[in-house]
Amino acid sequence: MKPVGVFGGTFDPVHYGHLRSAFEMLQALDFDEVRFVPCGDPPHRGITYASAAERFRLVQLAIEGQAGFVADDRELRRDGPSYTVDTLASLREEFPDRSLGLIVGMDAFLGLPGWHRWEEILEIAHIVVAHRPGWKAPDIGVLGELISEFGTHRVDDLHGSTLGRIHIHAVTQLEIASTEIRDLIAAGRDPRFLMPDRVRDAILESRIY
Ligand code: ATP
């Protein structure tokens, strides 16, 4: 069976940068599905601007009708800080024999050594890193060593084993960030074309930002 992609983030709000990378991953890596997992209570990021329920709703609207995209609310259903390692453990329980691929942007990957019980992540899943504008893969330090030990250029390796590899994958670079979208909305400007219209309409109607 094909791998399940796990795309976590605050998604505050979700935008075309997220959607396009997830779609390219789904297709290029031949994943069965990509699960968008909005962070319930972000341990690293402190506050979010929209509530977890609102961010989840926007993700649902964003992916509506796209085959292979799934909105996953497990972090909203769990109490306490949303640690990725716990999310992966819960997915591993649900999919004991499937390959799991945690999808992260390069900026997020560079922060990996600061994550709660990060060393356990590769014991549960693969890590797939999306190149993001301006970010370069580390070749020294903890992450450099990790990439030289577990890195693979072969997509087949993500299918042939269920966990334990790191794959760095270039995606079309869309320089969009949720922070800029929130600032733009706060300044009274229109976020149209940075996200699906359904998401934009819901944000403007409910004045989330
Ligand atoms: P913020 O501006 O609030 O930091 P963000 O736009 O970076 O938000 P997040 O929800 O923090 O969005 O990101 C979730 C995941 O998506 C991370 O792994 C991040 O690296 C990735 N990501 C964010 N923006 C893009 C983009 N434009 N292209 C590709 N990946 C992205």
Are 201 and 19 in contact by the 8 Å Cβ rule? The answer is no
Name the closest-CA residue to atom 21, ligand 1.
Answer: 105
Task: Using most ligand atoms within 8 A of CB, pick from 16, 18, 72 the residue to mutate for ligand 1.
Answer: 18
Strand partners, 131: 170
Task: Using most ligand atoms within 8 A of CB, pick from 14, 82, 132, 185 the residue to mutate for ligand 1.
Answer: 132
Strand partners, 105: 130
* Atom from ligand 1 closest to the CA of residue 179: 2
Distance 131 CA to ligand 1 centre (A): 11
Unique residue bearing structure tokens 């992260």: 104
Name the closest-CA residue to atom 28, ligand 1.
Answer: 17
Unique residue bearing structure tokens 């716990």: 86
CA 172/CA 20 separation, integer angstroms: 8
pTM listed for this prediction: 0.95
Among 7, 43, 41, smallest CA distance to 117 is for 43
Domain boundaries, the chain: 4-206
Distance 9 CA to ligand 1 centre (A): 7
Considering the four listed CATH numbers 3.65.10.10, 3.40.50.620, 1.10.1740.10, 3.40.50.1100, the one that applies to the domain covering 4-206 is 3.40.50.620
Averaged pLDDT in 10-residue chunks for the chain of 209 residues: 96 97 96 97 81 97 98 94 96 98 93 95 97 76 95 97 96 92 97 98 95
Distance 65 CA to ligand 1 centre (A): 22
Q: What pLDDT, on the 0 to 100 scale, is given for residue 192?
A: 98
115 in helix, strand or coil?
coil
**Ligand 1 first shell, C-beta below 6 A:** 9-12, 17-18, 21, 104-105, 107-108, 130, 132, 174, 176-179
Q: What pLDDT, on the 0 to 100 scale, is given for residue 149?
A: 96
Distance 78 CA to ligand 1 centre (A): 22
DSSP sequence for 80-118: S---HHHHHHHHHHHSTTS-EEEEEEHHHHHTGGGSTTG
90 in helix, strand or coil?
helix
Here the tokens at position 182 are 């929130």
Q: What pLDDT, on the 0 to 100 scale, is given for residue 44?
A: 67
84 in helix, strand or coil?
helix
Which helix (H) or strand (E) element contains residue 72? none
Here the tokens at position 202 are 């819901």
Among left, alpha and beta (phi > 0; psi -120 to 50; other), residue 21 is alpha
